[in-house]
């Protein structure tokens, strides 16, 4: 009888240990994937409307620009550097505990200038079907010209009159780049308290 009880205790311990190991492995794999491959991000503001809406949840590709090794400040080789048009998640330069998302409009060596609602890169007017303006009275839309220094990129929100971006805090150091936005995996409308099913799975461009 005593032997049967001991076997039962050992059986319970082995089951607990097995589940514990599974949970630890799952957490480790999730942390590994988040560090080197993908990162989830929620859109908290209107700065990227209409491309991205408040309540959109998306995945970002961290491998494309090269993931950073935590605590060592070392970036592994990436597939390519950020390019104009990329929608990028990055650490906010004025508070690196906060993640931001904007569109890259220029890279190192290029000159940026805003004239009203017109964006010029190296003196060439840009076609931007994704940009929008809120027509805020007295809002100063003129900026630059400014040449982007080496190791930096210039970030702007698609909702130009409602975006704290490189026009406010300057070119973004590449060291703060986290990843490129890929697709929306969930979308919640905070006003109507409903799921935006039509946005789920949308590729972000």
pLDDT in tens, 144-183: 999 999 999 999 999 999 999 999 999 999 999 999 999 9
Q: Does 98 or 32 have the greater pLDDT score?
A: 98
Pick the CATH number of 40-199 from 3.40.50.800, 3.20.20.70, 2.40.30.60, 2.10.109.10: 2.10.109.10
pLDDT averaged over every residue in the chain: 86
The residues near 103 (Cβ < 8 Å, ≥ 6 apart) are 48, 51, 85, 86, 87, 88, 130, 155, 156, 157, 158
Average pLDDT over residues 86-112: 96
Say whether 21 sits in a helix, a strand or coil: helix
Q: In degrees, to the nearest 5, what angle opens at C-alpha 52 toward C-alphas 50 and 58? A: 165
**Cβ–Cβ < 8 Å for 125, 118:** yes
Active-site residues, by number, are: 47, 102
Residue 157, token pair as written in the block: 């929100």
pLDDT value of position 192: 95
Count of other CB atoms within 10 angstroms of residue 58: 23
Percent of the chain with pLDDT over 70: 82
How does residue 78 score in pLDDT terms, banded at 50, 70 and 90?
confident
CB atoms within 10 A of CB 38: 16
Q: Domains of the chain: which residue ranges? A: 1-36, 40-199
The Cα 88–Cα 79 span in angstroms is 15
């Amino acid at each position: 009888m005593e032997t049967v009880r001991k076997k039962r205790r050992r059986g319970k311990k082995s089951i607990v240990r097995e589940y514990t190991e599974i949970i630890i492995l799952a957490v480790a794999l999730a942390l590994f994937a988040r560090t080197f491959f993908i990162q989830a991000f929620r859109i908290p503001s209107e700065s990227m409307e209409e491309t991205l809406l408040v309540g959109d949840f998306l995945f970002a590709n961290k491998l494309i620009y090269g993931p950073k090794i935590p605590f060592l400040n070392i970036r592994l080789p990436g597939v390519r550097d950020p390019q104009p048009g990329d929608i990028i998640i990055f650490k906010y330069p004025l508070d690196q505990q906060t993640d931001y998302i904007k569109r890259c409009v220029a890279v190192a060596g290029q000159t940026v200038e805003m004239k009203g609602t017109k964006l010029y890169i190296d003196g060439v007017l840009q076609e931007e079907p994704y940009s929008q303006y809120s027509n805020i009275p007295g809002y100063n839309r003129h900026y630059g010209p400014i040449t982007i220094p080496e190791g930096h990129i210039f970030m702007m929100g698609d909702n130009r009159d409602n975006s704290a971006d490189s026009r406010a805090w300057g070119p973004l150091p590449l060291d703060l780049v986290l990843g490129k936005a890929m697709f929306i995996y969930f979308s919640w409308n905070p006003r109507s308290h409903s799921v935006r099913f039509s946005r789920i799975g949308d590729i972000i461009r």
